Structure 1
Amino acid sequence: MTSSRSLPELGHIIQSRANTIADWHRAENEPQPSLSAGFSMQTHEYTKHIEECRAELLEALDEMRALVLGPTSFLFFTSVISPVWTAVFNVLYRFKVAEHVPTESGISYVELSERCGLIESDLRRILRAAMSMRVFEENPAGVVRHTAISTALATPLCHDAIGFSTEEYAPAVTKFPEALQRFPGSVKAGESALALTNGSSGDTDIFSVVSHHPDRYQRFTNAMSWVTTVPETSAHHFVNNVPWAHMQNSTTRGCPQVIVDIGGSRGDLCAALLRRYPDIKRAVVEDLPEVTRADTEALISSELAGRIEYQEYDFFTEQVVKDADVYIFRTVLHDWPDDYAIRILKNQIPAMKKGARILINDICMDVSQTVSSLTIQAQCAHDLMVKMGLNAKERTREEWSELLSRADERFSIESIVSPPYSVHSIIEIVWRDSLVSTTT
């Protein structure tokens, strides 16, 4: 991590990998990556080789930027001016600027300021900063148009993801040192920076606060759904690498018939699993009433009718769906300190049959730092976000093993798969109905 490659070495890697990716797009009759507004926002599922090239290209670009900038400029651009970008994106969110820019044409600053409710001079300055990051463009002079990035920002899920980051988390950043000082080593969700920002005196966690504000909770669920579309955190890594993905004829790890996604929000993951694995007969999406109520009212696509259902469930209570084959926690347990996570796991036990599995799709921290610097950055950022949010943490393999053992020694880790280029791992846990079965 501290040693760097030379500029010519990095330049060669960048040119080589960029050419390989461009060649793939050409061979597949796919449009070349572009920042123009008409470029498709659909995330590509590249082949393994192209994924490798993409990861190597991004790693080299990241290292090249740090090397060319040098220490002082790197710190300036990375830290000193970073509050400005948070402010810019918060204004874009609060005034719905991207939504007010037509998708097929441009709009004058005068008209856009009227639509947004911002005075023109302030709007120009905000957009000038945004354009420096390739968010929007001015073409011709005086006319604001979308780029591919601002087009993405105009979508409801991405819009709410930006809102969740800037409205919920940004205020907690300055509370983080206070939380560390007031509650050193705390593992109580109500003593986190985010809880303090929302007026907690140590007894109320952020989920409890947000659950009483439907708009904020909807923003949170939309933000989590948007994260699944980001290549490095995409749900397709989970869908393509579940234990039965390549072993459908296996008698011990074959395709399950009944799956339960705990904290499954809108049901995007279950829908993807049902489409990929037709042998799954029933998928249950569990979440709090305020989440599932909205989704049960939504129209379920005809292709999934009869196979997917929504169930109100609080994972701090006993599991209500009995004898499922697989229970899934995707990016759930990392939100909770150990004592809370243990309660959640214990609540699944009364419902589990012999051989039932729990699949945890969370980060498995690599303390040896053998993965790419971008993956490490993402994992460390997640780790500090859940620390600020609920005094939780991202766990190493050893910490996952200890957590499961504390919950019940009959939980046995069967495998841990870390898909290449994914921030998250898939931890497969088998429920042994007795301790004797683990030694015979």
Structure 2
Amino acid sequence: MAPARPISELASIIERHSRTLENELKDSPISKFSIEFGAPPQVEIPAVLEATRSELIETIDELRIRVLGPLGYLLTLMFPVPALAGVFHVLYKFDIPSNVPISKESISYKDLAERCNIPEDDVRRIIQSAITFRVFEEVEPEVSIRHNAISSTLAIPHLKDMLGLVLEEQLPGTTKLTDSIKLFPGSGEPGHSASVLAFREAKAVKNSGLEKEVVDPSKSFFDCIAEDEERVARFRSAMGMSTKSLAFKSSFFVDSLPWADKSQCPETIVDIGGAGGEIAQAILRGHRNVKKAIVLDLPEVVGDAKVPEDLEGKLEYASYNFLTETVSHPADAYIFRHIFHDWSDQYGTKILKNLVPALKKGGKIWLSEVVLPNLNEMNLSKSQMQRAADIFMKSGFNGKERSRKGWENLLALADERLRIVSVTKPEGAHDSVIEIVFDA
């Protein structure tokens, strides 16, 4: 394998080839390489420039991968791809592209939702996720969208059929590829293919009526896997791995708390849903004016938790179910990290209402959660992971990632006395730090 070229050399190749294409094609309709509505759907270039374009694309790809690094690159492959499959399936099934004006005219999310018979919040989340991959464009943030050259092609009948073929015939087969290899190793029979296995399973489920049967809608993903030790262990391991990503460092949250100033520092904090107490321990060690921390979580989570020697007398663990119990531990500040994105507003409201009785006037709640930014041309790639996470929250838990407006709506539903004081996003962090005050 040849030695890796410096990334500055890769950047030079990209600039050189980009200029070559611009100069050679300056008088042609594709010279701007635009994705605005009305731009040619295909970039057809002379054969003599194909090698230049191929090397340009390859070099762009190599530079991106190397700048992201091994883990960053893998996460950008594994995370958005299944979410995108879900996004495109909704676009296809509800015929969303055809219901957006095939012109430069915009349409509000509200009107589009009515046309497609889909909840407005859902259509907004689906399209905003697509926009991070430059499919559609948002005209007024959170309000309206329009087609660009990419999204408008999805309304072309033949391409729409191709999308349906990929999503409804081929994609299900990919989930059964492992089963096909295990059940029929080395088989060349078409009836042993993964797609046929997926078709047979879907047909069996449909004939049984199970696809519409939901006995208890309050049972979550976690309830479904609770009795399968292997799946539970895998989930915990995966979550542990995700938190090891540099963007999820707990120090982003801990260091952003303005508690170096003793007058602003709470003496007692409660970490709700704090699991093993990583955040509480970091706060006690990093903010010496915090005298006591209590970690609340389900009994099976905190049952075996141990207090480190250096924190004895300052750290406690107690059992608590934030959906069914009222908080009974008084504190100056309450902390939630990565809790609310698992839950819809219906259940997020319950969590907050169960906390309100414990709050005193001026009491603070601190959240470490995603705050989705408004979409613009400068942050689309950066937003892909967060918007993909939002689709995962929707598909996995009926939960959601929220914009600032979404957080304000959640607080208003829970108690009108809850108010956002500040939202801070540390540079390089995945999450924002949300400061909430209780104005009794």
TM-score range, shorter chain: 0.5 to 0.7
Alignment partner, residue 309 of structure 1: 316
Please state how far the C-alpha of 1:418 moved relative to its aligned partner.
0.9
The question of whether the paired residues in 1 share the 8 Å contact of 2:425 and 2:432 is answered with yes
1:69 is the counterpart of 2:58: yes
Render the CA deviation track for 1:234-269: whole Å, top value 9, x for unaligned. 21110110132xx513x3xx1111111111111111
One-letter identity of the residue aligned with 1:217: V
Return closer, same or farther for 1:341/1:371 CA change in 2, 3 Å cut-off.
farther
**Regions of 4+ moved over 6 Å:** 7-10, 169-176, 178-183
Q: 2:251 aligns with which of 236, 258, 268?
A: 236
Tell me the distance in 2 between the aligned counterparts of 1:234 and 1:390: 24
The question of whether the paired residues in 2 share the 8 Å contact of 1:288 and 1:312 is answered with yes
Alignment partner, residue 224 of structure 2: 209
For normalisation by structure 2, the TM-score amounts to 0.53
One-letter identity of the residue aligned with 1:248: D
Q: 1:281 aligns with which of 284, 287, 291?
A: 291
Render the CA deviation track for 1:298-341: whole Å, top value 9, x for unaligned. 4x321111211211111102333432111111111011111111
For normalisation by structure 1, the TM-score amounts to 0.53
Alignment partner, residue 374 of structure 2: 367
Tell me the distance in 1 between the aligned counterparts of 2:92 and 2:295: 36
One-letter identity of the residue aligned with 2:251: H
- SS of the aligned residue for 1:285 comes to strand
Render the CA deviation track for 1:16-48: whole Å, top value 9, x for unaligned. xxxxxxxxxxxxxxxxxxxxxxxxxxxxxxxxx
Render the CA deviation track for 1:59-78: whole Å, top value 9, x for unaligned. xxxxxx9963399x99xx99
One-letter identity of the residue aligned with 1:430: V
- SS of the aligned residue for 2:304 comes to helix
Tell me the distance in 2 between the aligned counterparts of 1:337 and 1:291: 23
Please state how far the C-alpha of 1:227 moved relative to its aligned partner.
2.5
Please state how far the C-alpha of 1:382 moved relative to its aligned partner.
1.3
Please state how far the C-alpha of 1:273 moved relative to its aligned partner.
1.1
Return closer, same or farther for 1:365/1:13 CA change in 2, 3 Å cut-off.
farther
The question of whether the paired residues in 2 share the 8 Å contact of 1:227 and 1:234 is answered with no
Q: 2:261 aligns with which of 245, 248, 266?
A: 248
Identity among equivalent pairs (%)? 35
Alignment partner, residue 413 of structure 1: 420
Which moves more between the two structures, 271-280 or 209-218?
209-218
Tell me the distance in 2 between the aligned counterparts of 1:356 and 1:272: 21
1:337 is the counterpart of 2:344: yes
The question of whether the paired residues in 2 share the 8 Å contact of 1:413 and 1:428 is answered with yes
Alignment partner, residue 320 of structure 1: 327
Render the CA deviation track for 1:184-241: whole Å, top value 9, x for unaligned. 54999xxxxxxx99x9567232122234445543443443333222111221110110
Q: 1:386 aligns with which of 393, 398, 404?
A: 393
Q: 1:427 aligns with which of 405, 415, 434?
A: 434
Return closer, same or farther for 1:339/1:256 CA change in 2, 3 Å cut-off.
same
Please state how far the C-alpha of 1:177 moved relative to its aligned partner.
4.5
Which moves more between the two structures, 386-395 or 207-216?
207-216
One-letter identity of the residue aligned with 1:319: T
One-letter identity of the residue aligned with 1:234: K
Tell me the distance in 1 between the aligned counterparts of 2:235 and 2:13: 39
- SS of the aligned residue for 2:301 comes to helix
Is the radius of gyration larger for structure 1 or structure 2? 2
The question of whether the paired residues in 2 share the 8 Å contact of 1:172 and 1:388 is answered with no
1:11 is the counterpart of 2:11: yes
1:399 is the counterpart of 2:406: yes
One-letter identity of the residue aligned with 1:232: A
- Please tell me the root mean square deviation across aligned C-alpha atoms, in Å: 4.5
Alignment partner, residue 95 of structure 1: none
The total of aligned residue pairs comes to 279
Please state how far the C-alpha of 1:422 moved relative to its aligned partner.
1.0
One-letter identity of the residue aligned with 1:350: P
- SS of the aligned residue for 1:405 comes to helix
The question of whether the paired residues in 2 share the 8 Å contact of 1:319 and 1:347 is answered with yes
Please state how far the C-alpha of 1:356 moved relative to its aligned partner.
1.2
